[in-house]
């Protein structure tokens, strides 16, 4: 099987560019995840994975990540992304992602409810909760990104 | 290179929640794939991969999967997802995924045609055919998921 | 960590089918990437990765790829996809993907600007540039695909 990640960190960033993909690229750079190959996963924190304030990602590495993101080419629009993880007393954690045409505060409120619902569905009790979010007002083409990097 | 999967199983489930992502999370749980990191692939059954009625997925593992899924926030809407694999006499198989605002029967009919067309395009003869499908009538936010897990 | 790719090649193809997914499957076959499990990544060329005119992909292998693609079920519509990579004097390269309801020429023009912008954002100078693109006029259901395969 593929190696299961053993570390995690939360990252987020916003970006502007001439195209939505360039704005997204800039948001990844701002988040410190712009020079790797993101491999999107859905979205469980492996049991025993340790939190790291920062992780060092070699350029071009294949990096598992759960994320919420949104691109917009509507000048003036406010967009937000959030990611959160809930961790029980022991065992795996549950990651939720969210993005929308809304504020960072609303995004954080929504995602808190999502993590709580995911814990309820599994009959788990939430012990540790971490969240990261960003918002951005689009100038030309904008993007928001919030992710949990699963690393080794 | 990344290790090529050697086993496969078909899973499916439906879910309800307060948000589309929670409904999707519930559908994954119902399918037995809710506590891992799904890595979406498109979508070939490796040659020699053996069918397993069930596979044991360690929580948080990176799990290659080909799937069809649909989320809906329209109460009363009927949604369906199906996944199927065709396997020739020898060599690799071809996986197809489908989802739509339709019934399970329609989804199974459509996906059968898709697998047959994929075999025609490759000049292969279909020897073994496996399909799994689900349907759901949305209450608040609903999701359907049907996938083929590629495992080791 | 997952093994970092050491080789790359550019591929592209177009396809027609009875469903959009079959058209996409055909486009992958035309590109020489139809019998593997594509793992979509975003989208950096690892430092030192060597260009290969062709790579041999074992059927069913998990293959990291950055790609642009578009499916259309609108007969007569012209669709295009392009992928490009910019490489500096040393270090990692940056891959951009594009698809749209446009011509191949327009797609190539757009993606050139995207790579240049990505280099500007990183303060890098473009030394080597490679691009691959396709266009297709939809008959029934059509698809275009242009990708950079990251391999070992």
Closest residue in B to C5 (Cα) is B1
Residue C70: enclosing H or E segment and its boundaries? strand C62-72
pLDDT digits (tens, 9 = 90+) for A10-63: 999 999 999 999 999 999 999 999 999 999 999 999 999 999 999 999 999 999
Q: Give bridge partners of residue B79 from the DSSP assignment.
A: B136
The answer to whether A97 is a known catalytic residue is yes
Distance from CA of residue C46 to its chain's centroid? 16
Q: b/e for C129-142, b at 16 or more Cβ within 10 A?
A: ebbbbbbbebeebb
Set of chain B residues whose Cβ sits within 8 Å of the Cβ of A42: 28, 37-38
Other Cβ atoms less than 10 A from the Cβ of C104: the count is: 19
A85 in contact with B at a CB cutoff of 8 Å? no
Measure C76 CA to nearest chain A CA, in Å.
27
Chain B residues with beta carbon closer than 8 angstroms to that of A121? 17, 22, 25-26, 29
Helix axes C20-31, B104-122, angle to 10 degrees: 20
The pLDDT-based confidence of B6 (bands split at 50, 70, 90) is very high
Q: Percent of chain A having pLDDT more than 90?
A: 100
Q: Which two tokens stand for residue A106?
A: 């609303």
pLDDT at C64: 98
A76 touches chain C (CB under 8 A): no
Average pLDDT, integer, range C29-49: 97
Residue A132: the pLDDT is 98
| Residues of chain C contacting B122 with CB distance shorter than 8 Å | 29, 34-35
Alpha helix positions (H), chain C: 20-31, 104-122
Is C103 in the active site? no
The arithmetic mean of pLDDT across residues B68-94, rounded, is 97
pLDDT of residue B148: 98
CB-based contact B25 A121, cutoff 8 Å: yes
Q: Closest-CA residue in chain C for B94?
A: C35
Is C56's Cβ below 8 Å from some Cβ in A? Answer: no
For residue B41, the distance in angstroms to the closest alpha carbon of chain A comes to 11
pLDDT tens for residues C58-108?
999 999 999 999 999 999 999 999 999 999 999 999 999 999 999 999 999
Listed in sequence order, the residues at least 6 apart from A109 whose beta carbon sits closer than 8 Å to its beta carbon are none
Contact residues, chain B, for A4 at CB < 8 Å: 58, 60-62
Beta strands across the sheet bearing B44-45: B44-45, B93-100, B78-87, B128-137
Cα dist. B80→B2, B46, B101, C82, C142 in Å?
32, 26, 6, 33, 24
| Mean pLDDT confidence for A56-83 | 98
State the pairing for strand pair A93-100/B7-17.
unpaired
Spot the catalytic one: A53, A77, A89, A97. A97
**Burial status of residue A47 (CB atoms within 10 A of its CB: 0-12, 13-18, 19 or more):** middle
Residue of A nearest to B2 (CA): A2
DSSP string for chain B: -PPPP-EEEEEEEEEEESSHHHHHHHHHHHHT-TTSEEEE-B-EEPTTPEE-S-----TT-EEEEEEEEEEE--TT-EEEEEEEEEE-SSS-EEEEEEEESS-HHHHHHHHHHHHHHHHHHHT----EEEEEEEEEE-SSEEEEEEEEEEE-
Q: Which chains touch B (3 or more CB pairs under 8 A)?
A: A, C
Catalytic residue among C35, C37, C105, C137: C37
B34-58 pLDDT tens trace: 999 999 999 999 999 999 999 999 9
12-51 of A, contacting C, C-beta below 8 A: 17-19, 21-22, 25-26, 28-29, 34-40
State residue A58's pLDDT score: 98
Is C2 near chain B, with CB under 8 Å?
Answer: yes
**Would you state the pLDDT for residue C43?**
93
Percent of chain B with pLDDT strictly greater than 70: 100
Selection from A1, B43, B140, A144 nearest residue C29 by Cα: B43
Residues of C in contact with B46 (CB under 8 A): 37, 59-61
Cβ–Cβ below 8 Å for B37 and A150: yes
Confidence of residue B115 (pLDDT cuts 50, 70, 90): very high
Report pLDDT digits (tens) over C97-122.
999 999 999 999 999 999 999 999 99
**Residues in B touching A41 (Cβ below 8 Å):** 37-39, 62
The alpha-carbon gap from B125 to the nearest alpha carbon of chain A, in Å, equals 30
Q: Name all domains of chain C by residue range, CATH numbers in brackets.
A: 7-54+63-151 (3.50.20.10)
List the single residue in C4, C66, C118 with the smallest CB-CB distance to A61: C4
- Residue B52 to chain A, least CA–CA distance (Å): 16
Give the Cα separation of A76 and B126 in Å (integer): 54
Q: pLDDT grade, residue A151 (50/70/90)?
A: very high
How far is Cα A151 from Cα A57, in angstroms, rounded to an integer? 8
């Amino acid at each position: 099987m593929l190696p299961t990640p053993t570390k995690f960190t939360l990252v987020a960033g916003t970006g502007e560019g001439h195209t939505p993909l360039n704005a997204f690229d800039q948001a990844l750079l701002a988040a410190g995840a712009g020079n790797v190959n993101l491999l999107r996963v859905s979205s469980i924190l492996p049991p025993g994975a340790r939190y790291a304030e920062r992780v060092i990602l070699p350029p071009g590495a294949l990096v598992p990540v759960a994320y919420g993101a949104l691109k917009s080419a509507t000048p003036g629009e406010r967009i937000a992304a959030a990611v959160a993880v809930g961790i029980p007393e022991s065992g795996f954690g549950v990651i939720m992602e969210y993005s929308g045409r809304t504020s960072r505060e609303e995004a954080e409120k929504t995602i808190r409810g999502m993590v709580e619902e995911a814990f309820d569905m599994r009959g788990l009790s939430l012990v540790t909760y971490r969240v990261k979010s960003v918002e951005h007002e689009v100038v030309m083409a904008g993007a928001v990104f919030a992710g949990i990097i699963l690393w080794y």
